[in-house]
Amino acid sequence: MKPVFLIKRFLFLILVIWSAATITFFIPRLSPRNPIRERFVELARMGGFSPADLEQIVASYSQRFGLDKPLYQQYFDYMSAVFRFDFGVSLNKFPKTTVELIMEALPWTIGLLLATTIIAFVLGNLLGAVAAWPKAPNWLRATATPFVLLMGVPPVIMGVLLLFFIGFRLKLLPLGGAYSIGTVPTFTLEFVLDAARHQILPALALILGSVGGWVLSMRGMGVTIQGEDYVTFAEHKGLGPFTIFRDYYLRNALLPQATGLVLALGAVVTNGIVVESIFGLPGVGRVLDQAIRSNDFIVIYGIVLFITIAVATLMVAVELLYPLLDPRIKLD
């Protein structure tokens, strides 16, 4: 791996973060009203803050959005704050900072998204590969079809429908929340099981909503790979069907799929957040939901920046891992 390449990707990452920060900096200023100032005035009018607290909010506010300084100065301050990972103090949950709020919620979100994405990716690719594999039995190849049909249903809607059928009608699983009302988060088996039961429906919604996409792209990929000479030669060598499927067909078809996974990261996070907010799970989605409901703009912008940085960083990081998957790729 050449250092020039690393530097290039790093610069690209900086550029992405800078663009996102710039957008979140200018949009509120382009708006005919200044939502943050309005919110601030509203807060001050309602009271409930000690003068010292208010001072601190004012300090945070004028540092990031203060209109007393020239625009370029504001922009510079804002940027340096972003790159120091300082997204300001919540207007609604003072004195918590945006980063603190995100960090509290993050483990839930990461757990849910990691698990569902891995399951959907593995399941979708296996089904898609089998669907394109002429030697697989027909019933096995047909299992992929229902997932493809579900593709047009966004995960949120899948969530609502699952809530209705499994949660409401059959009463098998809870209707929302992270754990039953009245329980206190502890590390007991009972609590963990309770929390897990609450995660099943949202997880299912996210999985069912995204498996079809992987099935479809993998099936297309598989058809192409089958025509490759090395698959034919593997048969000439007298290899068993399982070895050919795993080492010659799947290994090669998976490479473009890994790229697809990187490109889908944005959608994964987006779907995750919306599903979290619909199910009332204590993840970043709910923080965002509450921020939207209470006009907590600093937190809204903070979450947007945070997620953008996270997604862009992940993309570049996964890209650096490609050579492990494909020996042909040399990063330069």
Partner 1 sequence: MATVTAVPQPQFRQPGRARLLIGYLRRNLSLLIGLVMLAGLVLFTLIGLLTIDPKDAYPLSVPTRRPPSLEYPFGTDFFGRDLYAAMVVGLWQTALIGVLAGAIGTFIGTVLGFVSAYFGGWVDNTIKGICQILTPIPVLLIQIVIAGSLDKRYVTIYTMALIVVLLAWMGPTLVIRSQVLSMKERQFVAVAKLSGVSEWEIIFKEILPNLLPFIAAAFVAQVFSAMIASFYLAVLGLGPLREPLLGNIIWAAQSQGAFFNGWWWWPIIPSVAIVLILGSLALINMGLDELANPRVRRTE
Partner 2 sequence: MPPVLQVRDLQVTYYTDSGRARALDGVSLDLNPGEKLGLVGESGSGKSTMALAMMRMIKPPGRIEGGKVVVGGTDLTALSEEAMRKARLSKIAYIPQGAMNSLNPVIRIGAQMMDAIRAHNPEEPRAEAEERCMRALESVDLKRSVFKMYAHELSGGMKQRVCIAIGILLRPQVIIADEPTSALDVVTQRQVMETIDRIQHELGCAIILIGHDMGLMAQFVDKVAVMYAGRLVEVSRVRDMFTDPKHPYAQALIRSLPSLENKGVFQGIPGLAPSLLRLPSGCAYHPRCQHAMEICSRAVPPLETINGSRQVACHLYVEKDLYAEKA
Site string for partner 1, 199-238 (x = CB under 8 A): --------------------xx--x---------------
* CB-side neighbour CA atoms (13 Å) of 103: 8
Return the residues of window 254-293 that contact partner 2 according to CB under 8 A.
Answer: 255
Closest by CA to 92, choosing from 306, 287, 307, is 287
Residue 84: contacted member of partner 2, partner 1, none (CB under 5 to 8 Å, by partner type):
none
Per-residue tokens: 8: 């290039």
Q: Which of 6, 136, 175, 255 binds partner 1 (CB under 8 A)?
A: 175
Return the residues of window 184-243 that contact partner 2 according to CB under 8 A.
Answer: 228-230, 232-240, 243
Task: Output 121 or 248, the one with its CB closest to partner 2.
Answer: 248
Per-residue tokens: 116: 């569902």
Q: Are 13 and 313 in contact (CB under 8 A)?
A: yes
Dist CA 216 CA 245 (whole Å): 18
301 binds partner 1 (CB under 8 A): yes
Q: Give alpha helix (H) positions in 189-282.
A: 189-226, 229-236, 241-243, 251-279
140 binds partner 1 (CB under 8 A): no
User: Is the sign of the CA dihedral 31, 32, 37, 43 positive or negative?
Assistant: negative
**How many residues touch partner 1 (CB under 8 A)?**
54
Task: Output 216 or 239, the one with its CB closest to partner 1.
Answer: 216
270 binds partner 1 (CB under 8 A): yes
Per-residue tokens: 307: 């997620």
What does the binding site for partner 2 look like in residue numbers (CB under 8 A)?
228-230, 232-240, 243, 247-248, 251-252, 255, 325-328
